[in-house]
Amino acid sequence: MTLPVDMILHFLRSVHPYDSLAAETLADLCARFQAIPMAKGDPIYAFGEPLSGLYLLYDGEVEVRDATGSPVSLLGPRNSFGERGLIGDGTALTSARATTDGTLLLLPRADFDSLMASEPVFAKFFDRRRNDARRGSDLATSRVKTFMAANPVTCPPDSTVQQAAQTMHDKRISSLCVTEAGGLTGIVTTRDLTGKVLAAGLPCTTPVAEVMTRDPLTLSPAAIGSDVLHAMMEHRIGHIPILQASRLVGIVTQTDLTRFQAVSSAELVRAIAHADSAAEMAGVTAEIPRLLVQLVAGGNRHEIVTRLITDIADTATRRLLKLAETTLGPPPVPYLWLACGSQGRQEQTGVSDQDNCLILDDAVTPEQMPYFAELARFVSDGLDTCGYYYCPGDMMATNPRWCQPLRVWRQYFAGWIARPDPEAQMLASVMFDLRPIGGDRSLFAGLHRDTLQAARRNSIFVAHMIANSLKHTPPLGLLRGFATIRSGEHRNMIDMKLNGVVPVVDLGRIYALTGELTEVNTRARLQAAEAAGALSASGARDLIDAYDLIAETRLAHQLARINAGDAPDNFMPPTVLSDFERSHLRDAFVVVKTMQSSAGQGRGMLS
């Protein structure tokens, strides 16, 4: 297959880091790329085989798996892959196969090496991607506070060894920190109980103070994993209390180290894909907060973190669909399960509800509809069991309104576009974020394309959608402060979802609508809007930078909540930020507000 050089040039100008190369370098590079057609199911390369070069996806989708066969990512247009093998001996460290028909661009190994040696921006980008892929699971350089057990169980020195043993048994732990007058005086472990009490024949009424290890080795939350590893190996211990300003705030055990190293999105995906019930899946999804901590603490960018977490929800949904079909029998007609909301945009964090719907083949009959009602209930109940709570607005496939034949969905979208009343605006905003999860994807392709075309051509609908997108505003107050929530449970806090990321999500949706862009992820929409000319380079750069800061601040807040032993949420008191952080976060909100103002005045597409 041959792609004209001018098409490759236009494409590369929309892909980083090629967009940073000099014009003459980029023009020369275009002739070096090889266009390769791919068909659904085609293997691209296998683990351990020599790589021909760097792959860049022109169109279509590619699934990448690790050495164990676990899925790592599902890539779309503008994504590169294979570089981790090239930065080394050229042997593939993953495997890849096409999941749709499409086209690949292959940059030969020699040209890749030449660019790595001569173009600093190119080298920095691919070195960073390689390091980002490894960094999240790097125990040696992760802070202790990201994997310690917070709020350790304690006992006073006069507790008996029997009481200590009972507490450890009930709590399923292997040690107790011994405290007195608020300070740590020692630690007692199960090994102490067996070696110093049972082996010596001491009575069960012996005080803990007589067998505990006094003044144990401690570390601070700012220590790193290698400090823990070295201390445990040097002193032959398996438990280290964590003190901050002489106050006991946590403990690290060998089990904590093992768990931290073991958790990964790929392992969770693998476990869910083989689960036999929603209850079994729930045991896996319960690990998501720990995965979030590990990914964020490891320095991964927010779009990587949310993509990996969303992959887990996607896998759970597909597994539940399979279990439903096993229970209910084969579906009477083809169907497609779709997600909207944060799952649809691949932007899930540590707290998510479920937003989904079903598109059915037009051949479905009224007699067959109960099957899909049962399937929807089976999957939605299973997702709730897994921690994806029911949508408060009932935007779920269990609602008959959102479980309909394709022809009805076409009527829905046509009606919303023709009569954009407030409810239509709200529903269109949600449904423009639809993404297929499981089933017959052909049921959505034509609907998506036709809806985007019809929506863009209706200037009244576009105007209403723009107005609707401005309802969520950044929390900007007077005198360079923040406008916090004024009353209730979250008084004096910022809603980092509704007033933080949602205003950017709404802008991204508008850019996608006016540019007929098929991307659903917010960051991808902003990048595609710039590439399509719907958003200027400077506007895109400012808005993407602002979005990155807001989204990463939100994730950092959720990480802090989890580390404190609380459930993650979106309500952040600005007082937890330093003056420097507050200043930059406010600047990010100002950028978003400016872009909203431009959109409201009809200038937002070119800001």
Divide the 607 residues of the chain into consecutive groups of 10 and give the mean pLDDT of each group.
Answer: 82 82 87 91 88 90 71 72 76 85 92 86 65 49 80 94 94 92 92 91 95 93 80 84 91 78 72 91 91 81 88 92 96 96 92 92 97 97 95 93 96 91 86 91 89 89 88 81 90 94 94 88 91 87 93 93 88 91 91 88 49
DSSP character at residue 60: S
CA distance 44 to 98: 7
What pLDDT does residue 81 have?
A: 85
Assign residue 584 a region (left: φ > 0; alpha: ψ between -120 and 50; beta: otherwise): alpha
What pLDDT does residue 139 have?
A: 64
| Cβ atoms 35, 71 nearer than 8 A | no
CA distance 202 to 444: 72
CA distance 20 to 26: 9
What pLDDT does residue 145 have?
A: 82
Distances (CA, A) of 469 to 69, 465, 473: 42, 6, 9
Distances (CA, A) of 371 to 332, 334, 377, 384, 436: 8, 12, 10, 20, 20
Burial class (CB in 10 A: 0-12, 13-18, 19+), 477: exposed
CA distance 569 to 500: 13
* pTM: predicted TM-score of the whole model, two decimal places: 0.63
| Cβ atoms 503, 592 nearer than 8 A | yes
> In 435-499, which residue ranges form alpha helices assigned H by DSSP?
442-457, 459-469
